[in-house]
Structure 1
Amino acid sequence: MKLYKLLCFSFLIATLTSCTFTENVYINDNGTGKFSVDMDGSPIMEMAGDQIAGQMGDNKKDIDTTFTFKEVFQEKKDSIAKLSPETQKELKKLESYVVSTKISSEKKEFLMNMSTDFKNVNELQDILQTLGTLQKLEGGKNPMGSGFGDNGSKLSYTFDGKKFTRKAVVDQQKKAAKAQDAEGDMSKMMFASSSYIVKYHFPKKIKKVSNPSALFSDDRKSITIQYSFTDYMENPDKLDCDVEFEK
């Protein structure tokens, strides 16, 4: 199965059923770190694993593979060359991501992980929104479902050793337009039972967190914030937080 076809197939599974999205951010003292997003769509494998296996082609019932977005874009280089400079710039943000996919009809398992290293938290963006740019590779046909990841916000991160901030600035005009969009209603129905979890791991103990939903780890160096995926789409600023550290 070609990489782009596999990627689209994997996202299609994610959009068809309740899926758990888990975002992990690991930050070092110097501000470098690792970012990853895990998607677990195993529930659909429980319901229709054999049928899905038949759609994978190549007579494969199991897939366990790792690739990079750079490899995917190499497959689609002719299509990418026809896109606007702005869209090409958005896609380039994904090049460093490593994608690992495990699909097993026998184990009723669908797991996907996307990860990358960063030199500064300022480099981080909303990965699900950036993934939405992939629809432009097929002339506007979105392999991940209409509206996937597009919550009408601009996400930013900052870290100076004393304080960490995650802030989503919501575009109210986009939010209002999406509320009137029938396709947006369909996306809301599809993701109603999905969850979005963010986990932040720091090199220092945490003094306090602004988000009231944050749960501390035992060593107080990590926090977890969980919401429904519907909240992530409709109220992305609910996941905002300011984290201050002990001296």
Structure 2
Amino acid sequence: MFQKLFLLAILSLFLASCQFTESLVLNEDGSGTISVEVNLNEMMAFGAMGGDSVVTKMDTIIYMKQFLEEKKDSIATLPKGEQMKLKKLENFNIHLKINTEASEMEYDIATTFKSIEEVDDLMNALNQAGNFVPGMDQNQKKDEPDSPDIIGVRYSFDKGVFKRDAYIKDKTRHQKEVDSLKQSEAFLGGVFYTLSYKFPRPIKKVSDPEATLSNDKKGLTLKKSFIDYFKNPDLLDLEVELEK
């Protein structure tokens, strides 16, 4: 998914910027909600999403559990690896909001959880969610497989301490992708990945000094250049200690 978006940005020949926002609401018992929103409005404004589409306006939610049940017969014909990727989306919902006339396109993938460890597969879900956006895979050949997951994220919450730990899944493929983007870095400077988190208690201490706390100290925002994050996922590693 990340690679597809970067390719679209390059092909636009302008700074057709997309933005990522990862939002988390964590409850005292460790349950909560998490989502990642992708804003493609500027890409749409520059026509980076390609030719005419039969869909001009859309505001819909795809409930993945229902979708997978409805499509189970066709999904059963896919390779086992692809079936497993789709199976992992079962507890996620995808919200698509598109208005081609107004050059607007946003989508997010979200889930609720009983324990934050349940959403360790969030980046894979985001990668797969892009396939539901009309026109997103237009630059990918029909017989070409999706890009493998390169960046993963582990989450934990224990004894009032929250941790976000990003890591590289496939170091060889990751380095190839980083090398392929070197000549395009100047055009990708407007792409950011933002964390927007809310906790059940005030924050006592946070590992990244660039994080901004809300007035009640229960929320934080942290924004990093996406190209820098892609090259070094540790940039958005985070440890948050809550007050007793």
- C-alpha distance in 2 between matches for 1:214 and 1:88: 38
- C-alpha distance in 1 between matches for 2:203 and 2:22: 19
- Which structure is higher in helix share? 1
**Offset from partner CA, 1:113-163 (integer Å, 9 cap, x none):** 22110110001125334443569xx65444xxx67xx4x344211102410
- C-alpha distance in 1 between matches for 2:221 and 2:7: 22
Closer/same/farther in 2, CA of residues 48 and 155 from structure 1, 3 Å limit: closer
> Counterpart in 2 of 1:159?
157
> Counterpart in 2 of 1:39?
38
Say if 2:77 is the partner of 1:78.
no
2:163 corresponds to which letter in structure 1?
Answer: T
> Counterpart in 2 of 1:220?
217
Note if contact 1:170-1:237 (Cα within 8 Å) is conserved in structure 2: no
By how many angstroms is 1:224 displaced? 0.9
Closer/same/farther in 2, CA of residues 36 and 132 from structure 1, 3 Å limit: closer
Identity in percent: 31
From 115, 118, 139, the counterpart of 2:110? 115
Closer/same/farther in 2, CA of residues 189 and 139 from structure 1, 3 Å limit: farther
- Please give the root-mean-square deviation of Cα atoms over the aligned residues, in Å: 3.3
Closer/same/farther in 2, CA of residues 125 and 12 from structure 1, 3 Å limit: same
**Offset from partner CA, 1:193-238 (integer Å, 9 cap, x none):** 3111111110000000011221111110011111111122111111
**Any gaps of 5 or more consecutive residues in structure 2?**
10-15, 132-136
Note if contact 2:188-2:227 (Cα within 8 Å) is conserved in structure 1: yes
Closer/same/farther in 2, CA of residues 132 and 109 from structure 1, 3 Å limit: closer
2:225 corresponds to which letter in structure 1?
Answer: S
Note if contact 2:97-2:106 (Cα within 8 Å) is conserved in structure 1: yes
**Any gaps of 5 or more consecutive residues in structure 1?**
1-7
Q: How many residues align?
A: 224
> Counterpart in 2 of 1:239?
236
**TM superposition outliers: structure 1 runs of 4+ over 6 Å:** 11-14
- C-alpha distance in 2 between matches for 1:114 and 1:72: 14
Note if contact 1:27-1:201 (Cα within 8 Å) is conserved in structure 2: yes
Closer/same/farther in 2, CA of residues 129 and 193 from structure 1, 3 Å limit: farther
